[in-house]
Amino acid sequence: MKRLISLAISLIILCIIYFKIDTRELLEVFRTCNPTWMAISLAMVVPLTTFTAWRLQQLVPHGVRLGFGESNRLILAASVLNMVLPSKMGDLAKAYFMKQRGHLDGSLAFSLVVFEKTCDLLSLLLWCAFGLTVYPDKNWLFWLLAASVAGGLIVGLLLLGSRSLAQIFFRALKRFAPKSMREKLDSLQIAWNEMHAYFWQDKRQLTKIAATSVFIWFLHLMQIWMFTLALNAAVPFLANLALAPLAILAGLLPLTFAGVGTRDAAIIAFYHPYLTAPVAAALGLLCTSRYLMPAIAGLPFLNQYLALVATRRK
């Protein structure tokens, strides 16, 4: 039922957007796009998937065999589920699949994925905070967003660095959370504790994973900037470092289907100083393709993993 509600919200937002946009102008934007930049920007999906798969390999303990091909298959299979689950929750399926394949036990696999997603979110917030700081035309809204992003980044780093602060945070969350969420928070707290114990014992490895995550998200934002070049738009790169993360964060809100609708609306709103509405709508479609292409490529692998799970249950 929740999925149907999310899909309905996405469709309503898209209907509002495209009711206000001349679709002929939108088609003209794609017809007159730069084919070279379009090909390069879309092809960025390949190195992004490759670097993310390599990072997953680095996350597993020494002595655990997780091949590069297997790591790529896990990333692509999770991409399929990310299209239908809110807030990138499909990535948590990687933990289940790694357990079923015998790579790791369940709790460690879950903690690794929690750490991976934490690094992703903090890296995105880091680039967003930097972009908002150097954004040239700041009004009260951008100062508010900058303060919120910086606050989220600081809280995330404190929770990642201090186990005692993390325990206080989880206790406070469980006190005010609905009963239906408390069991999930208990599981997340256990995974967070195991993550602390595992990753802080090797600070060199921790630094390498964090640096890789920051670099991966630089490539993500670079891809979106390349989309603007493909659409013959003039968006300063530093401005894109502020605007693209805001649109991505809007898409992570668990309101719509795979972020479709909220992300598109955010792109139109935030890129307004640089893009007309039809060009911004085209950019929204290209940003959706960033998630759609890996999901299509991951369908065969997801079927393989689901078949494996079904076989083992028998």
Tell me, yes or no, whether 146 lies in a domain. Answer: yes
Predicted pLDDT at 166:
85
Q: Is 107's pLDDT higher than 80?
A: no
Tell me, yes or no, whether 56 lies in a domain. Answer: no
* pLDDT band per the 50, 70, 90 thresholds, residue 312: low
Give 160-163 contacts, CB < 8 A, sequence gap 24+: 160/118, 160/122, 163/193, 163/196
Tell me, yes or no, whether 43 lies in a domain. Answer: no
Q: Is 178's pLDDT higher than 90?
A: no
Tell me, yes or no, whether 18 lies in a domain. Answer: no
Q: Which two tokens stand for residue 201?
A: 């014992």
> Shortest CA distance to 210 belongs to which of 127, 119, 125?
119
CA neighbours closer than 13 Å in the CB half-sphere of residue 264:
26
Q: Is 198's pLDDT higher than 80?
A: no
Percentage of residues in the chain with pLDDT exceeding 70? 94
Distances (CA, A) of 170 to 113, 176, 290: 18, 10, 33
From 14-18, 61-65, 99-103, the region with the lowest mean pLDDT: 99-103
Q: Is 99's pLDDT higher than 80?
A: no
CB 264 within 8 A of CB 281: yes
Q: Is 262's pLDDT higher than 60?
A: yes
Tell me, yes or no, whether 134 lies in a domain. Answer: yes
Q: What is the pLDDT of residues 239-259, one digit of tens each?
A: 999 999 999 999 888 777 778
Predicted pLDDT at 109:
80
Top mean pLDDT of 59-73, 93-107, 120-134, 243-257 is at 120-134
From 57-61, 124-128, 181-185, the region with the lowest mean pLDDT: 181-185
Tell me, yes or no, whether 188 lies in a domain. Answer: yes
* pLDDT band per the 50, 70, 90 thresholds, residue 7: confident
Q: How many domains does the chain have?
A: 1
Predicted pLDDT at 188:
79
Which residues neighbour 111 within 8 Å (Cβ) at sequence distance 6 or greater?
A: 191, 192, 194, 195, 198
Tell me, yes or no, whether 86 lies in a domain. Answer: yes
For the chain, how big is the Rg over CA atoms in Å? Answer: 20
Range of the domain at 147: 75-313
Predicted pLDDT at 163:
82
Average pLDDT, the chain: 87
Tell me, yes or no, whether 13 lies in a domain. Answer: no
Q: Indicate yes or no: pTM above 0.85.
A: yes
